[in-house]
Amino acid sequence: MKIAVTGATGQLGTLVIQALSQQIPTKNIIALVRDTHKAEHFADQGIEVRLFDYNQIETLQPALEGVDRLLLISGSEVGQRVPQHQAVISAAVKASVPYVAYTSLLHADTSALGLATEHKATEEIIQNSGLAYAFLRNNWYIENYLGNLAHIVSEGKLYGAAGIGRIRAASRQDYAQAAANVLINAPSNNPTYELAGSAAFTLSELAQTISTVYNTTVEYINLTATDYSHALSEAGLPQGLVDVIVDADVQATFGGMYSESDDLSTLIGHETMSPEQLITQLKTA
Ligand code: NAP
């Protein structure tokens, strides 16, 4: 039984491969990557590496031959994802891949986040493909708020525009473990999992948690969407990414990052990693 993972050299993909390796023989894992030079460490572990670039259609079907279960990790080029994912699913059908799991977005069918459009469209492509599937609707990564943790700590300020929105984010590690478990068990009946962290937090509470872990004072500064957008642009982030981050915070104020679902802790068999545990891990890494 061969399990293949797209975006395997990415941050989530790497953790999925790691989680799979702990449960099944590495010879049954296929890392699908667009740059094979970045994947030499997989080959060293006995994991098969195949070239797979969403933008090079000729690489797709050959790389999916003999695959029993495919994890399609959503691409990172916002705006390009529907044709990219369509190409992958068409290739999967042609290669007779029986099962696909897809990393979607929390409440993709109803979410007001701008990102939801491409995820919803991809889910529809998969539903119309005739493949058996599982939708892994991942909420935000906690890591999204901690990308510049050292700077947050040194400045004593965490900026955002999420107000008192309650956020049930989880670590990449927990989403990856859930994906690996779904791939191994291939649950039938085409399930949709709403995957969110076990406990909700506001960005003020996150700032407080950073303060506690670092034994310092970090204050949450809530900005308007416009001011937050300017601040991120001035920090050098590309406009497309700025728009995604600001939209996510604004939607969080309306509950866009919240869910009542415990699907994630159920899939991984325990509570998800808390922000405190993750920040402590990042501090000591
Ligand atoms: P990441 O580290 O940027 O990984 C993205 C992966 O997609 C990389 O392996 C990249 O390949 C691969 N990729 C990009 N374009 C490709 C193409 N044309 N053909 C084949 N592979 C391609 O992102 P991540 O943190 O692992 O997250 C995984 C996905 O979740 C992202 O792509 C995005 O869709 C979504 N996401 C979710 C959240 C969230 O909070 N839930 C946040 C950010 C992103 P290389 O390794 O060669 O670069």
Are residue 131 and residue 249 in the same domain, yes or no? no
Question: What pLDDT is recorded for position 110?
Answer: 97
Contact residues for 4 (Cβ-Cβ < 8 A; gap 6+): 29, 30, 31, 32, 50, 63, 64, 67, 69, 70, 71
> How many whole angstroms from 270 Cα to the centroid of ligand 1?
26
Domain count, the chain: 2
Are residue 219 and residue 120 in the same domain, yes or no? no
Are residue 132 and residue 147 in the same domain, yes or no? no
Q: Whose CA is nearest to atom 44 of ligand 1?
A: 76
Report the mean per-residue pLDDT for the chain.
Answer: 97
**Mean pLDDT across 145-161:** 96
The Cα 132–Cα 4 span in angstroms is 15
pLDDT at 22 over 90: yes
If one residue of 17, 35, 73 were mutated to test the ligand 1 pocket, choosing by the most ligand atoms within 8 A of its CB, it would be 73
Query: Which amino acid is residue 179, in one-letter code?
Result: A
Categorize the per-residue pLDDT at 8 as very low, low, confident or very high, splitting at 50, 70 and 90.
very high
Are residue 110 and residue 224 in the same domain, yes or no? no
Categorize the per-residue pLDDT at 137 as very low, low, confident or very high, splitting at 50, 70 and 90.
very high
Question: What pLDDT is recorded for position 9?
Answer: 98
Residue 183 belongs to some domain of the structure:
no
Question: What pLDDT is recorded for position 1?
Answer: 94
Indicate whether this model's pTM tops 0.85.
Answer: yes
54-97 residue pLDDT tens: 999 999 999 999 999 999 999 999 999 999 999 999 999 999 99
Per the structure, the complete domain to which residue 273 belongs is given by 139-170+195-259+269-285
Strands 69-72 and 3-5: what pairing?
parallel
pLDDT at 285 over 90: no
Residue 88 belongs to some domain of the structure:
yes
> How many whole angstroms from 77 Cα to the centroid of ligand 1?
8
CB-based contact 125:85 (threshold 8 Å): yes
